[in-house]
């Protein structure tokens, strides 16, 4: 697992509070790996943070509708363009992409190129629920210190299909091979639930926290 930042260097990570996602569990996990946290939908607080974490549980169209109603899409795009680290967790990762076919389709944040599609599970039960092996395609600061493969806990029916192959950091298998961890520039995401993935999930969040700490170094 990545080292925990020293208290005086601990970054503030804002958990985007739009009403969907395991926000409290994510908050506690980030605090365990040394981050200061604020759970907020206030634009000024989001602007002031050293990093942003976008959680998500539920349906993509409903999530994006709420995010737009709160004008959070504008803030997220502005902070991403400014180079602030942004991590999408579970459905939050899906929202980073251009569009989803879920429930008739909806546009996403467009921070990563590609679409979100229903898993081609080949007769396996959906949603996909449980631990899965994540195979790393390359070394990256986000997977530093994690084993290959890494076991992470998933709950999902849809998965992203990135247009840019170099955005895919980790893949898993469930009927088909799907992208489950992405990293491109300052944009990161995990289809799994890091906050439910024990030591390895904490390691992923610790590495993200370390990236956020570099903003204030």
Please check whether residue 88 lies inside any domain of the structure.
Answer: yes
- Cα–Cα distance for residue pair 195/189, rounded to 1 Å: 13
20 falls in which pLDDT band (50, 70, 90)? confident
Closest CA to 204 of 153, 163, 137: 153
pLDDT at residue 22 is higher than 80: no
- Cα–Cα distance for residue pair 90/128, rounded to 1 Å: 12
Please check whether residue 76 lies inside any domain of the structure.
Answer: yes
Catalytic residue at 102? no
1 falls in which pLDDT band (50, 70, 90)? very low
Q: What is the pLDDT of residue 9?
A: 74
Domain enclosing residue 141, as ranges = 7-213
pLDDT at residue 110 is higher than 80: yes
Please check whether residue 149 lies inside any domain of the structure.
Answer: yes
Please check whether residue 139 lies inside any domain of the structure.
Answer: yes
Count: domains in the chain: 1
Instruction: List the catalytic residue out of 154, 156, 193, 200.
Output: 193
More reliable by pLDDT, 53 or 6: 53
The enclosing domain of 100 has a CATH number of 3.40.50.880
Please check whether residue 185 lies inside any domain of the structure.
Answer: yes
For residues 86-95, give the mean pLDDT.
Answer: 96
Q: What is the pLDDT of residue 8?
A: 54
Q: How far apart, in Å, are the Cα atoms of 120 and each of 58, 161, 168, 175? A: 19, 12, 18, 6
Catalytic residue at 212? no
For residues 11-38, give the mean pLDDT.
Answer: 91
Please check whether residue 164 lies inside any domain of the structure.
Answer: yes
| φ, ψ (nearest 5 deg) of residue 54 | -105, 105
- Cα–Cα distance for residue pair 26/162, rounded to 1 Å: 25
Please check whether residue 2 lies inside any domain of the structure.
Answer: no
Catalytic residue at 195? yes
Please check whether residue 1 lies inside any domain of the structure.
Answer: no
Instruction: List the catalytic residue out of 27, 195, 200, 212.
Output: 195
Residue 122: CB atoms within 10 Å: 8
23 falls in which pLDDT band (50, 70, 90)? confident
Instruction: List the catalytic residue out of 27, 90, 154, 156.
Output: 90
Residue where the block lists tokens 């998500």: 56
């Amino acid at each position: 697992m990545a080292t925990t930042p020293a208290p005086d260097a601990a970054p503030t990570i804002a958990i985007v509070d739009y009403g969907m996602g395991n926000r409290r569990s994510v908050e506690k996990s980030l605090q365990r790996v040394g981050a200061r946290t604020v759970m907020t939908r206030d634009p000024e607080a989001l602007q002031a943070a050293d990093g942003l974490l976008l959680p998500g549980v539920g349906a993509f169209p409903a999530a994006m509708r709420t995010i737009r109603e709160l004008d959070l899409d504008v803030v997220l795009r502005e902070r991403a363009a400014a180079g602030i680290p942004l991590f999408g967790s579970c459905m939050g990762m899906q929202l980073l992409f251009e569009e989803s076919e879920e429930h008739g389709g909806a546009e996403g944040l467009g921070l990563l190129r590609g679409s979100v599609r229903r898993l081609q599970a080949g007769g396996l039960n959906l949603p996909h629920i449980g631990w899965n092996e994540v195979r790393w395609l390359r070394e990256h600061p986000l997977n530093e210190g994690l084993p290959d493969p890494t076991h992470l806990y998933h709950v999902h029916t849809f998965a992203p299909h990135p247009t840019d192959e170099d955005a895919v950091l980790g893949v898993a298998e469930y009927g088909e091979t799907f992208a489950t961890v992405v990293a491109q520039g300052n944009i990161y995401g995990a289809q799994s639930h890091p906050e439910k993935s024990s030591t390895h999930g904490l390691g992923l969040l610790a590495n993200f926290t370390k990236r956020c700490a570099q903003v204030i170094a």
